[in-house]
Amino acid sequence: MSQTKPSPVAATTAATGTASAAAAATVTAAGSGARQSRTYSYAVPVRDPARWKGLSGLEAMQRLICGEAAAPPITDTLAFALVEIEPGRAVFEGDPAEWMENPLGTIHGGWISTMLDSSLGCAVHSTLAAGMTYTSATLEVKFIRAILPSTGRVRAEARVINAGSRLAVVESKLTGIADGKVYATATSTCLIFEAR
């Protein structure tokens, strides 16, 4: 699916005629770079809670890893995946790419945060008994160093610090697989409750 979005400044200039010719030329020159497209497919989400009935959180996560259940579409959209799961621990991996860049040329913090958040949530999910669910109440991310497309594959490893009957506290660390450097960390508090 390819989509081209016009420059908002150029669109405003064309609609209002208020920008100077020099400014319009600058926008056109700056916005005339080569375009690339990215296509991907994803599994249609199954919104039937009965498919998890009787399964512990760990069993549900294991079904995702082995392909017995389709991964959530966000993982295909953002190109990362759950690769390891055990009680209280979840690991995601992803490959930074140029389509994830922010205007500074580094990987956007939203991609980093989403990957960390996914690892945090799945670590908590892996501790749940059948019939229980959770939701994130807080998320705090600390960016330590910039990630570039050339950084290579990164790994978000989350571990539950404490899981009570109603509240779980979890932390995650995003590291480069090739260089072992820590790029970001995150903590989250999750509320635990009965699924309906």
Task: Give residue-wise pLDDT tens across range 109-165.
Answer: 999 999 999 999 999 999 999 999 999 999 999 999 999 999 999 999 999 999 999
Q: Order of strands, edge to edge, in the sheet holding 89-94?
A: 80-86, 89-94, 154-163, 167-176, 182-194, 132-143
Angle among Cα 35, 38, 43 to the nearest 5 degrees reads 160
User: Quick one: pLDDT band at residue 32, thresholds 50, 70, 90?
Assistant: low
Mean pLDDT, the chain, integer: 86
Does 3 score more than 70 pLDDT? no
> Is residue 89 a contact partner of residue 158, using CB atoms and an 8 Å limit?
yes
> Which of 155, 154, 94, 159 minimizes the C-alpha distance to 122?
159
Q: Phi and psi of 74, rounded to 5°? A: -60, -30
Q: What is the mean pLDDT of residues 42-71?
A: 90
- Residue 95: how many other CB atoms lie within 10 Å: 13
* pTM for this prediction: 0.82
Question: How far from 146 is each of 1, 53, 78, 81, CA to CA, in Å?
Answer: 29, 41, 18, 21
Tokens of 78: 């953002």
Q: What is the rounded CA–CA span in Å between residue 90 and residue 127?
A: 11
In sequence order, the 6+-apart residues with CB closer than 8 A to the CB of 3 are: 37
The pLDDT tens digits for 58-108 are: 999 999 999 999 999 999 999 999 999 999 999 999 999 999 999 999 999
Rounded to the nearest angstrom, the gap between the alpha carbon of residue 92 and the centroid of all alpha carbons in its chain is 9
